[in-house]
A and B are shown apart, each in its own frame.
Chain A
Amino acid sequence: MSNSFIQINNISKHFKDVKAVDDVSFEIKEGEFFSLLGPSGCGKTTLLRLLAGFEYPTSGNLLIDGIDITALPPDKRPTNMVFQNYAIFPHLNVEKNIKFGLRKLGLSHDEIGNRVKDVLKLVKLEGYEERFSNQLSGGQRQRVALARALVRQPKVLLLDEPLGALDKKLRDEMQLELRTLQKNIGITFVFVTHDQQEAISMSDRVAVMNDGKIQQLSAPNELYKNPKNIFVSDFIGETNFLKAETKSSDGGFINVLIEELGEFKIKNNLNIAANSSDVVCSVRPESMMISNVKSDWDICLDAKIRQTSYLGEMTRFYVEVKGIDKTITVSSQHFDNQSFENNDCFISISLEDISLLNKK
């Protein structure tokens, strides 16, 4: 396993005045399920298209398995792509779609037959050889696109929001299936999505992008637990932001004045400067406790429930805390809903669940 199987070195891509990708550098490991995650227009798709060869970078270079591919056209790269709309050739049936990319590989007739058979089995499309694109469901088309790319045995499979067009249940199934498939065949996957849940649940590592830059690159749990900045904290999962300012620093800790709540000593993982008002505190809804009796947690606040919404596996409470001018969201599996609207309650927070972030 190579730790720098794909090397992305100082890649920029400008479209006229727009910096779609802005001086990005990172490495992807061999056999990794790697996701590029971000809102639309963040540059993730452009980065994928740069890897595929549909765009060429304004500056920087790209290496796959030690070979510089920066200037190679798409047909000369060891990559294959699963397109967002699948791009199944409508004039060819499933079998011919899958065979399309084998012509130039110089394989024997038997080898071609075997590969097609194997890949059809892999994506569970045996018996669909004669069908055309318009005779397939969305999920089946997705499998054809996957088979067509995998049959060439690429070093890297690029996936451009391949699950976006599927309904939720099918999407969940395909997530699991894709993940299993990737583990079994061991090919490096680079997966583009705007869906944070998708990225988090499938990937070994995720690069969160915004404004053409990587905001954070880490394992999914790190992304969730230790977001590096306010963008990542906001984009991954849900959170509450509280106004704050830092006071004196104290080793790995820092004293923080949180609006209306008082001063607390919390962990300073990001080395945030002392005496700064350019900071916020983030608290995840599910890390807080809601109760109708006072607790002995680090922080316990008087609050009033304004609204509740029942989500099945949990209930979300929108509460008003005295002195804080916005609604705080708290999720809980235990606290019953309905009868509590407009009732008083207590919100408890543990200091270790508060993360301190720079505003910029």
Chain B
Amino acid sequence: MNEKNNTLLIYTLLYFVFLYVPVLFLPIFSFNDANYMSFPLAGFTTEHYEEMWSKRNLHKALWASIKVGVVASVISTTIALFAAKAFARYKFRGEKISYGGIMMPFLIPEIILAVAILIIWINLGFKLGLVPVTIGHTLFCTPFAMLILIARIEGFDFSLEEASRDLGENAWGTFFRVSFPLYLPGIVAALLLSFIISFDEFILAFFLTGSDATLPMYMWGQMRFVQKLPHVLALGAVIIVFTTFIVLLAFWLRNVGQGKAKKDIALKL
């Protein structure tokens, strides 16, 4: 028994070491006073962060990523909200096919999605840039947002909506006064996760950006020059901290209110 527990413990530790140690090297070397990633560490410096901050192209790429991320996450969350509500609330013809259709970008290799959009976009005579990237990201983020929202809406007590209608509200009033506030934590979680997925996304951006680089594209571009590596490390470290914060926030939000609901049920039983 004891032995088994130790095996599991070692397994768990190994898993986390493999997962997180490489990631930890980024922040460590980002403060190292050298241009190469090697031990022993040469000394502490914040110079790479200062350098990072001074790059105009980086600012441009960051702004591009934020624009794409905000637009893509808002559109995909809106689409996902309507879809999730339909799937969680109603039975209808073609339900499974529609669900599969929306989930598809989740399963097909991203590179295929990217190539497909690229070919169509160019054949339609449009220029590459942030618009096709945003479209690609919207497609790609929608299934993630929908999964989060379905989880939220499935636990929803629909008699609350009936109660609202019964108390004199029409369908829109019911949505804004009852459904929306109760879905809100799920909606915010879906927005945040969609934003992060778009913010980190590389393959679609690689095929569709043209000359307007997003942040991951910018990083990839810088990697070709050894002397530019340190400030990319600094950037990477910042992104890790930022992403972790957003993801934790999203998960926390997703569970807000759900705990309460569970307690309610427990009380009733």
A interface residue numbers (CB < 8 A to B): 52-54, 73-75, 79-81, 83-85, 87, 89-91, 100-101, 103-105, 133-134, 138, 148-149, 152, 165
Chain B residues closer than 8 Å to A53, beta-carbon distance: 165-166
Contact A134-B177, Cβ < 8 Å, known A74-B165, A85-B159, A148-B167 = no
Alpha-carbon gap, A125 to B173, bound state (A): 27
Whether B163 sits at the interface, judged by CB under 8 Å, is yes
28 contacts between A and B (CB under 8 A): A52-B166, A74-B162, A75-B165, A75-B170, A79-B166, A80-B166, A81-B166, A83-B162, A84-B159, A85-B268, A87-B163, A89-B160, A89-B163, A89-B164, A90-B264, A100-B167, A100-B169, A101-B168, A104-B168, A104-B173, A133-B264, A134-B260, A134-B267, A148-B163, A148-B167, A149-B167, A152-B168, A165-B268
Measured CB to CB, the nearest residue on chain B to A99 is B167
Please indicate which of the listed interface residues B165, B167, B168, B181 has the most CB atoms of chain A within 10 Å of its own CB: B167
The A-B contact count (CB < 8 A) is 76
Q: Does B257 contact A (CB under 8 A)?
A: yes
Q: How large is the interface on B (under 10, 10 to 19, 20 to 34, 35 or more residues)?
A: 20 to 34
Known: A90-B257, A103-B168. 16 other contacts (CB 8 A): A52-B166, A54-B162, A54-B165, A79-B166, A80-B167, A81-B162, A81-B163, A83-B162, A87-B159, A104-B173, A134-B260, A134-B263, A134-B264, A148-B167, A152-B167, A165-B268
A196 to chain B, nearest CB (A): 23
**Contact between B169 and A87, CB atoms less than 8 A apart:** no
Q: Does B178 contact A (CB under 8 A)?
A: yes
A71 → B minimal CB distance (Å): 15
Measured between beta carbons, the chain B residues less than 8 angstroms from A90 are 160, 182, 257, 260-261, 264
User: When A83-B159, A138-B268 are in contact, do A104 and B169 touch as well, CB less than 8 Å?
Assistant: yes
A83 to B257, alpha carbons, bound, how many Å?
21
Collect the chain A residues with CB atoms within 8 Å of residue B267's CB: 134, 138
A100 touches B257 (CB 8 A): no
Q: How far is the CB of B9 from chain A (nearest CB, A)?
A: 38
Residues in B neighbouring A85, C-beta threshold 8 A: 157, 159, 268
Are the CB atoms of B178 and A89 closer together than 8 Å?
A: yes
Alpha-carbon distance between A80 and B263 when the two chains are bound, in angstroms:
28
A104–B182 CA distance with the chains assembled, in angstroms? 21
Question: Chain A residues near B164 (CB, 8 Å)?
Answer: 89, 100
A-B residue pairs, 6 tightest by C-beta:
A101-B167, A87-B163, A74-B165, A87-B159, A104-B168, A75-B168
Please give, as numbers and ranges, the residues of chain A lying within 8 Å of B268 by CB-CB distance. 85, 138, 165
Contacts of A54 in B (CB 8 A): 162, 165-166
Select which of B163, B168, B181 is within 8 A of A83 by beta carbon. Answer: B163
Residue of A at shortest CB range from B161?
A87
A60 nearest CB across to chain B (Å): 21
Residue of B whose beta carbon sits closest to that of A151: B167
State how many angstroms separate the Cβ of A270 from the closest Cβ of chain B: 40
**Interface set, chain B 214-234, CB cutoff 8 A to A:** none
CA distance A91 to B185 in the complex (A): 12
